[in-house]
Structure 1
Amino acid sequence: MAVRRRSTSTSAGAPAGTTAAGRATALLDAVRLRLAEAGAVPTATEVTAALRSERPPLGGDDLLDTVSTLRSELVGAGPLDTLLSAPDVTDVLVNGPNEVWVDRGGGLSRESSVGFPDAEAVRHLAYRLATAAGRRLDDARPWVDARLPDGTRLHAVLPPIVSDCTHLSLRVSRQQPFTLGELVKSGAMPPAGAELLGGIVRARLSLMISGGTGTGKTTLLAALLGLVGRQERIVIAEDSAELRPAHPHVVRLQGRPPNQEGLGELTLRDLVRQALRMRPDRLVVGEVRGAEVTELLAALNTGHEGGCSTVHANTAADVPVRLEALGSMAGLDRFALHSQLRAALDVVIHLVRDQRTGRRRVAELHTLVGDHVGLAGTVPAVTFGPDGSVTEGPGWERLAQRCAERGVVLERGRR
């Protein structure tokens, strides 16, 4: 069916009184329509050709800037592109047309140089990003949690779930994962801490990384997976693909929400079951959030050594209680879960974030113990101070023994 082309007003022939924003919107609509009519992919060349056909009074650098802006609006993140491409930006949050917040590693600060024309522009961007991620976002399902093609994590919520305006949360994915050496340089841990964590990975101990939101759990897990032997096969199960370890043999499984008919959902629990059939040398669950904890603990109790995961918890000591709550979602008896937990998990690595400086760091390592009634608990093996000090705790001997049993000798820290 032929497409009837509407007339457009660009900056070359816009009626008097038209605002700059209106002219820009009209130009964008005109270029989008020409690309759609031609069935062209919005590359720089195609956008330039479509733009020239509209004959705006542009030339030289102005034309290049306009092409870049139009491509950003068509296939990028619009006005947020400059922030997402900055090397020091970790998070970009949009609360409204003129409320953009940025984290550059030192906590959130308001970005006054970036904004949107109105709330509808924010909503439109949320729709487009969700589509690019292959996810649904509309009034029937007013939120989305997905991974964009470049690795950026997207979370968007539409009104009326949030008031006034669509809210966007974008977490930038580093193209190259951090190494332990880089984390040491950033102050995330002392050199002795990196050596200790490297020994735990070589010993194939099962570990769980705990901490609050934004403490760097995924970053540390990716760095540790980069230390896994090159001959080992890593199978990762995640709700949305985040982990990108620097390793030659990684298999990634990603969950999927249900479609409009409520069908086709793939839960993390489904993924863990499939991962166990894919001959993993290291089974990794990106984040334990629910009933999948039962499959993970069962796997770690049946010969799958060196498994890893992350979990939200306030302290390392809270991890058994947190896992107990998650296990109850699957109907797992309290004592059964604690029994499996003591046998399956070797180490809890806890991360914190300094609220004043925004610095993320490894705070402590705990080992698992059982109490007199059979419930699992944790005891500190090593504590890392903000000044880089390393202090051994009552769990040190158990940690050192577990590693020695697998041929890895841990260097003693400073008391």
Structure 2
Amino acid sequence: MENNFSGSETRPILDKYLPDEYFEFKSKIHERLLDIIDLSMIESVDQEQLDRQIRHLTEKILLEQANVMPLNFKERETIISEIVDEVLGLGPLEPFLKDPTISDILVNSYKQIYVERFGKLEPTDVRFKDDEHLMKIIDKIVSLVGRRIDESTPMVDARLSDGSRVNVVIPPIALDGPMMSIRRFAVIPLELEDLVANQTLVPELRDILMGLVKAKLNILISGGTGSGKTTFLNVMSRFIPENERIVTIEDAAELQLKQRHLVRMETRPANIEGKGEILQRDLVINSLRMRPSRIIIGEVRGAEAFDMLQAMNTGHDGSLTTIHANSPRDALIRLETMISMANFDIPSEFLRRFISSAIHIIVQIARQVDGKRKLISLQEITGMEGNVITTQEVFHFKQTRVDAEGNVRGRFQFNGIRPKFLEKFRIAGIRVNNEQFDPSFKVEV
């Protein structure tokens, strides 16, 4: 597979010198720099001033070592930038973190790094010196959020200062050395207009989605990994009125809500003694005592599903959450399974009635083979028929082909169903164009 990533400037030097030779030289420069500077001042000194000082000292050291590895001006600048990234940032990963087009950084081993750009994975030329170098960067990340990682705790979830989510696995769990994945989030959160521009949905859905939130319907956003569930949840949250109190609950803080009256909570893992763990369920239960207008759960994945449904059924309308599932029907089955696995002794018939009365809308998001995300189904839960939760699909996207460039082609279409939520829209004073529910409405993309 051809590498078309152009973010690394190290390649020309590696063509000139052996990789081990280059990394050994850079390591010596780094160690010499650490002997000179006072690391304790990094937190207190202005970053720009510190950057200039490190660059100046590194250049001085390189001149002293000119006989060891002769470098031209561009090569010297490359090493200086990499040393600055080592001291102040996350080393070889820093250029990726500065690139807004990259959404995922996947470190499979110290010498193999992939990135995702525009929904597609591509390899890079960037690498760490060795496992020890990679572990230093990992330790820097987890220590910043008060976590630790070692043989007794070989897996950890953390986050960077910009909100990016980090997952790390080290030996003995990881067989080929430390592994790390970084899920990045846009510095400027996407808006509904951006989703329309990206053909995730069509403009005709704008008023409907806005109405679903303003009419305080409970919405479940379903989709697979990397399908854009959290992004869509952020977009939907924009329509929550400013005068409402929002409580968010997450495993790792990812949501980027813009409202002022916002209370954010995050789970906490157990400490070294196995104590102090705070689960999402604990936070959901506690949130009910915080006078919330809306409860937003980043992702429901366990016993908290039951408490979330209880909240939806007891006056906390307008709640939103996401769930991992490949279809709206699968999402309902997963909800039922989560509650059953939490040892709640509830007959399946009563549990399904409980779900059908709590959830009003399921929005299904999917990532297509070309890397683009699409809203592929919007379904309304209409009640129960026997022992089965009944739904009706209001809107869907149907793929028809893949063109010569590999782009997914298809059409967005309403199904000719007049949804029950239109009555709630009328009561709430929300107006939408009823004609757009006609099945003749189609948008080819």
Output the TM-score relative to the length of structure 2. 0.83
Aligned pairs for 1:329-340 (under 5 A) are 329-332=341-344, 333=346, 334-340=348-354
What is residue 409 of structure 1 aligned with on the other side?
431
2:119 maps to which of 80, 103, 106: 106
Deviations 1:156-178 (A, max 9, x none): 11122122121111111112211
Alpha-carbon deviation of 1:62? Answer: 7.3
Is residue 101 of structure 2 the alignment partner of residue 79 of structure 1? no
Deviations 1:191-222 (A, max 9, x none): 11222211211211110100000000000000
Distance 2:212 2:26 in 1: 56
What is residue 186 of structure 1 aligned with on the other side?
198
What is residue 45 of structure 1 aligned with on the other side?
49
Moved more, 31-40 or 220-229: 31-40
Which ranges in structure 1 are unaligned for 5 or more consecutive residues? Answer: 1-17
Alpha-carbon deviation of 1:88? Answer: 1.0
What is residue 363 of structure 1 aligned with on the other side?
376
What is residue 128 of structure 1 aligned with on the other side?
140
Is residue 45 of structure 2 the alignment partner of residue 32 of structure 1? no
Moved more, 146-155 or 206-215: 146-155
Alpha-carbon deviation of 1:152? Answer: 1.1
Distance 2:412 2:53 in 1: 61
Structure 1 residues 49 and 174 mapped into 2: Cα distance closer, same or farther (>3 Å)? Answer: same
Aligned pairs for 1:14-413 (under 5 A) are 19-36=21-38, 39-41=41-43, 43-46=47-50, 48-49=52-53, 52=56, 55-58=60-63, 66-111=79-124, 113-332=125-344, 333=346, 334-355=348-369, 357-386=370-399, 387-392=410-415, 394=417, 396-411=418-433, 412-413=436-437
Deviations 1:204-247 (A, max 9, x none): 11101000000000000001101211212211000110001222
Deviations 1:263-310 (A, max 9, x none): 111111111122222221111000000000111111111111100000
**Per the alignment, in what secondary structure is the counterpart of residue 199 of structure 2?**
coil
Which ranges in structure 2 are unaligned for 5 or more consecutive residues? Answer: 1-19, 64-71, 400-409, 440-445
Count of residues in correspondence between the two structures? 395
Moved more, 307-316 or 77-86: 77-86
**Per the alignment, in what secondary structure is the counterpart of residue 106 of structure 2?**
strand
Structure 1 residues 37 and 104 mapped into 2: Cα distance closer, same or farther (>3 Å)? Answer: closer
* Conserved 8 A contact 1:47-1:67: no
What is residue 9 of structure 1 aligned with on the other side?
none
**Per the alignment, in what secondary structure is the counterpart of residue 249 of structure 2?**
strand
* Conserved 8 A contact 1:44-1:67: no
Moved more, 119-128 or 173-182: 119-128
